[in-house]
Structure 1
Amino acid sequence: MKKLFIALLSIFLFSFFMPISAKDVVWYSGRGNVEYRVCNKPSPVVKIALGMFSSDMKAVTGHHAHSVGKAPVEIFQLDMLTNKEMKELDKRKISYTDIITRQDAFTISINQGKIVIVGSNGRGTAYGILELSRLAGVSPWIYWGDVVPEKKQHLALPDNYFTRQYPSVAYRGIFINDEDWSSRVWAQKIEGKHAKKGEMGPRFYKHVFELLLRLRANTIWPAMHEGTTAFFKVKGNREVADSCDIFVGSSHCEPMLRNNVGEWDEKKRGPFNFITNKHNVVNYWAERLHETAGMDALYTLGMRGIHDGSMQGVKTKEEKLRGLQAVIDEQRKMLHKTFGKSMKNIPQVFVPYKEVLEIYEDGLKVPDDVTLMWCDDNYGYLTRLSDDESHSPFRRRTAET
């Protein structure tokens, strides 16, 4: 009897001191639709993320998600909130101060029995929405990899759930390269019969940008090989990039967002030579700067040949250094004149690839507010890593491709 009493007492004490399991906050119970409430006027990228989320919920539950007045999921985009809406966050003690000054940040928390997504900006809010898709079992590769999610009759988070996420790298993305026999062929098919030869248009890039949002990326270097129509020459490409809040940049041989292979017309403009044909080269760059005013863009500085070749008009080591320095100085003058902003607020990148690295190491002056993108040697080995000098406070705004 004494042994039985001790055993029962042990079970009671063990149960008493065990941590109480968190109560689940259910956002889908097996009936009806997943419902959410957007607590402000959303930016275009948030609307796109909500469309993706709705399709994701259709794949998981069999029903699209819908926006309603009262819902178990609430979404706030901080940079679009009114004073009244900010006061609502404060009144409900919803945490946001630790992300409000960060780019592309979000939190997901539980407040008053609701799942609350707070994003610092449009991209951050979109990432938070798509994180909820991921928690429901949706892979970022649902489209590109044909990854079919498992059907579920119950979706919930514990009532103590909290996550805060933000990037450590400012520009995160991909370069669509060597597209000739792969993505360009497929892009032509999905663009339809009205697409012109060589065009990789908005239908293709919308799928790419949606993948970037799922992977929490924000930057694209578009396809640029010979035979591919330049990104900005295809109607709708800029608009879909804007709607998805994607920074458009360009590769090491495409300064100032210009695809020289497809856009430089030597018969009309003369040689692509800054030394002997500066006026036409500068006007060529200026056209694109005016065209891209107001969009998220990452401007590549410097100059190489038309396509993956050395800069024209310079031969000796001294000429190469002097010529490239003159190019960068002129490009920064153009950026400041066109946009009228502090240079540190204009995203710029310098890519010391191949022979350009030698010029950089010979004393090229690249201002601290320009991102340095180190490259490999085409055999998988990085040719340079940042040292203390190249890792200044400005340079901590790095790039990944």
Structure 2
Amino acid sequence: MDYFHLNDKTKIRTNCRFPTPIQYAVDILKRDMGKVLDAGTRLKDDRQSIIEIGYVSEPDKDNWEQYIISFSQTNGMKTMHVQGNDELGIIYGVLYVSKVYLNIDPYWFWADLSVQKKDSISIPMKQVISKQPKVRYRGWFVNDEVCLIGWKKEYPPTREVWLPVFEALLRLGGNMVIPGTDLPRHGIHFELASELGLWITHHHAEPLGAEMFKRAFPDKQASYTRHQDLYESLWEEAIQQQKDKKVIWVLSFRGQGDEPFWKQDSSYDTPEKRGELISNVIAKQLHLVKNYVEEPVCCVALYGEISELYKSGNISLPDGIIKVWADNGYGKMVSRRNGNEDFRIPSVPEGTDQGKQGLYYHVTFHDLQASNHLTMFPSSPSIISRELENAIQYGGDDYLLVNAGNIRMHLYSLELVSEIWKNGKVDTKDCLTRFIKRLYSSHHQELSNLYHQYFECTILYGEHEDNRAGEQFYHHPVRKIISHWIQGKYGQNLPSLNWVTGDRSFSEQVQWLKEKCEDYVERWSELMRKCEQLHVRLNNNDKQRFADQLIIQVKLHESGCKGFIDVCTAFHYFREKKYPEAFVYASEAIWHYQKGYEAMRLSEHGKWKDFYKADWLTNVESTIQNVDTLRKFIRMYGDSPDFFLWYKKYLMPEKEKYIYLENTHRKPLTDDELAKRLKEVLF
């Protein structure tokens, strides 16, 4: 077989003037060639070749996003032809060259993957024709993206932050994005995503991408009935701003702050009234879009109360729009938990004959309860594969929007979903094996085993397979417990924990949570030991990547689980009026939570400096501060007002207790110093 030789002499040629998105892709290819093809190597390959990029001669609309890579030879000059049926087809073809021939991984930026320098790459001159992805519109909702927001000084995030996000999405075959949540309008996020060739879509709380009503009209009641003209002016303005871009228009109507609109307008007090208004608004929004856009692509998110109203027959939807069904935030295609209510109403496509349908799916979530934000999806990857494969097979293949969070911590889950949106299915075991081999240079089986074990360690707190806890489980409930405790309400049930403990006394709630964590803490400790044992045997590059990708997540779970147990133990001693013992355990909790905080700091090396600085959602630092407040509160019981009494009772030599001069020997110990010394005496 003849070969095409890719080297530093290879030229890139285009057969027409390209729009901006394709030029971005060409620039990426040039950058990647410069990184891989080293002109300074001793082995020289002087053979010249050409990469010619362009559209196919007769584009076929039915083969959207298809690319063809073929080869030719004229007078000894070999040419690689990268052709696409449309703009995205060319982009994906160019990125195929980068991925397959130059070996640039989609996660090169996010996993700090180095490139292997070569003087030349020999490519078989064999035609490549891409397969059409299973899902038509597929991509990421970069949501709850506080790490991306806080990473750099500039706000809103700049091109430097967004380019690696959009590039990774394109490399994984995505074509759609919601770039961020409620970011300032002057930010670059929407414009840059569009410039890169991605379809833009909107948050279901911001229909048509319009500005929030209360931001535009802060002195007006957020009532469509009273201010129909003002709402519609915002929608029309948004449409005009985006009409020349590739947009999947979200039709919806929710209240301000992503909650039901009837919380601001109590006159809508029945399902019939609510459904009728939503139906009328969606019809109006569609009419407005059609005034400016020919054959628009539109969808409606059947999320929360809108799903319930639709299923009860109170919402009617226009023909042709994509109905988007949502999971519960934990990977199961059922309605999400709302406070203590968890009805688990199926949220799945209605069948292939019921029009266009799609999915909104979380691999990361934030709900102030047990979600994962800084760590991986907590349930078995088989849930992702089963739920998405079934939903797609049943008609949900028009749209798949994945809540991708801050990207860096969710690479494996995003890899799984990208396989599904390409092929409609995934073998989770094979996917993990390929993922590990791409990220690490050795010890592949051991690494695969540790990643697999991660999903077996997460706390199963309920009766359903998706009731698995992310790292927020160790933080939001603990802070609620501390608040309830310090306010002296520990004789009362804490209602905001009933979703997990059931309706029982506060003491029983605390004990239930303590025992649940105790059931799993040794699993995390054992996984941590195995990770540390393997870590020392990896090469330096793999060591850092392993620490950044898995060890940090195990530490957040292990330290959080231990800290939670210690807070609960402190409460037990406090109720028995054993205040020094309670003080020691509160201190132990702080020290455990600090290990998770320190793990984030260690992961902020090089370009990742300050990446976790804006951990405002899980907020490990806030938990440490809360427990420190608790510790100071406990010390008030018995060691106040001079904060010397426990030292005198437990630590001072017996012969000194009755003869010391208080005015010269009374420097109180710090909380940490006192706790460490009391621990030696009391336990």
Same fold, judged at TM 0.5 (above): yes
Give the 3-state SS of the residue equivalent to 1:104 in structure 2: coil
From 171, 186, 190, the equivalent of 1:233 is 186
CA drift of 1:378 comes to 2.5
Distance 2:51 2:116 in 1: 21
Indicate the residue corresponding to 2:156 in structure 1.
199
Indicate the residue corresponding to 2:678 in structure 1.
none
Distance 1:132 1:316 in 2: 57
Instruction: Provide TM-score, normalisation by structure 1.
Output: 0.77
CA drift of 1:385 comes to 2.0
Question: Are residue 40 (structure 1) and residue 19 (structure 2) matched?
Answer: no
Distance 1:389 1:36 in 2: 44
Indicate the residue corresponding to 1:5 in structure 2.
none
Indicate the residue corresponding to 2:261 in structure 1.
311
1:224–1:259 contact (8 Å) kept in structure 2 = no
From 219, 229, 253, the equivalent of 2:176 is 219
Structure 2: 5+ residue stretches without partners: 41-47, 335-346, 359-394, 402-683
1:373–1:398 contact (8 Å) kept in structure 2 = no
Give the 3-state SS of the residue equivalent to 1:220 in structure 2: strand
From 107, 115, 120, the equivalent of 1:154 is 120
The one-letter amino acid paired with 1:260 is M
Structure 1: 5+ residue stretches without partners: 1-21, 65-69, 79-85, 87-95, 190-194
Indicate the residue corresponding to 2:206 in structure 1.
254
Structure with greater Cα Rg? 2
Distance 2:20 2:233 in 1: 33
Indicate the residue corresponding to 2:348 in structure 1.
385
Give the 3-state SS of the residue equivalent to 1:374 in structure 2: strand
Question: Are residue 366 (structure 1) and residue 327 (structure 2) matched?
Answer: no
Give the 3-state SS of the residue equivalent to 2:174 in structure 1: coil
The one-letter amino acid paired with 1:386 is P
The one-letter amino acid paired with 1:103 is W
Instruction: Provide TM-score, normalisation by structure 2.
Output: 0.46
2:180–2:189 contact (8 Å) kept in structure 1 = no
2:198–2:246 contact (8 Å) kept in structure 1 = yes
**Cα 1:336–1:358, aligned 2, differ >3 Å: closer, same or farther?**
same
Question: Are residue 76 (structure 1) and residue 33 (structure 2) matched?
Answer: no
Give the 3-state SS of the residue equivalent to 2:289 in structure 1: helix
1:57–1:63 contact (8 Å) kept in structure 2 = no
**Cα 1:156–1:224, aligned 2, differ >3 Å: closer, same or farther?**
same
CA drift of 1:63 comes to 5.2
Distance 2:241 2:19 in 1: 22
Compare relative contact order (CA 8 Å, sep 6+) and give the higher one, 1 or 2.
1
Give the 3-state SS of the residue equivalent to 1:308 in structure 2: coil
The one-letter amino acid paired with 1:111 is S
2:39–2:119 contact (8 Å) kept in structure 1 = no
The one-letter amino acid paired with 2:130 is R
Distance 1:204 1:170 in 2: 27
Question: Are residue 357 (structure 1) and residue 307 (structure 2) matched?
Answer: yes
Aligned-residue CA RMSD (Å): 2.5
Give the number of the structure whose residues are more often helix, by fraction: 2
Question: Are residue 115 (structure 1) and residue 80 (structure 2) matched?
Answer: yes
CA drift of 1:349 comes to 1.2
1:105–1:124 contact (8 Å) kept in structure 2 = yes
CA drift of 1:137 comes to 0.8
1:25–1:115 contact (8 Å) kept in structure 2 = yes
Distance 2:95 2:133 in 1: 15
From 282, 299, 310, the equivalent of 1:328 is 282
Indicate the residue corresponding to 1:244 in structure 2.
196
2:179–2:190 contact (8 Å) kept in structure 1 = no
The one-letter amino acid paired with 1:44 is T
Indicate the residue corresponding to 1:26 in structure 2.
5
Q: Deviations over 1:371-398 (max 9, x none)?
A: 1221012332112222336643688761
1:321–1:362 contact (8 Å) kept in structure 2 = no
Q: Deviations over 1:192-226 (max 9, x none)?
A: xxx4xx4123332233222222222121112225x
Give the 3-state SS of the residue equivalent to 1:102 in structure 2: coil
Give the 3-state SS of the residue equivalent to 2:303 in structure 1: coil
CA drift of 1:52 comes to 0.6
2:9–2:49 contact (8 Å) kept in structure 1 = no
Give the 3-state SS of the residue equivalent to 1:381 in structure 2: coil
Instruction: Give the paired residue count.
Output: 335
Q: Deviations over 1:253-303 (max 9, x none)?
A: 111112528x733425x1222223212111111111111121111211111
Indicate the residue corresponding to 1:50 in structure 2.
26
Distance 2:19 2:34 in 1: 23
Give the 3-state SS of the residue equivalent to 1:400 in structure 2: strand
The one-letter amino acid paired with 1:156 is S
The one-letter amino acid paired with 1:26 is H
**Cα 1:34–1:256, aligned 2, differ >3 Å: closer, same or farther?**
same
Question: Are residue 294 (structure 1) and residue 244 (structure 2) matched?
Answer: yes
**Cα 1:159–1:222, aligned 2, differ >3 Å: closer, same or farther?**
closer
Indicate the residue corresponding to 1:4 in structure 2.
none
2:65–2:132 contact (8 Å) kept in structure 1 = yes
Distance 2:168 2:318 in 1: 33
Identity of matched residues, %: 21
Distance 2:328 2:217 in 1: 30
Matches within 5 A, 1:137-176: 137-176=103-142
**Cα 1:145–1:292, aligned 2, differ >3 Å: closer, same or farther?**
same
CA drift of 1:50 comes to 1.1
Give the 3-state SS of the residue equivalent to 1:131 in structure 2: helix
CA drift of 1:101 comes to 3.8
CA drift of 1:131 comes to 0.4
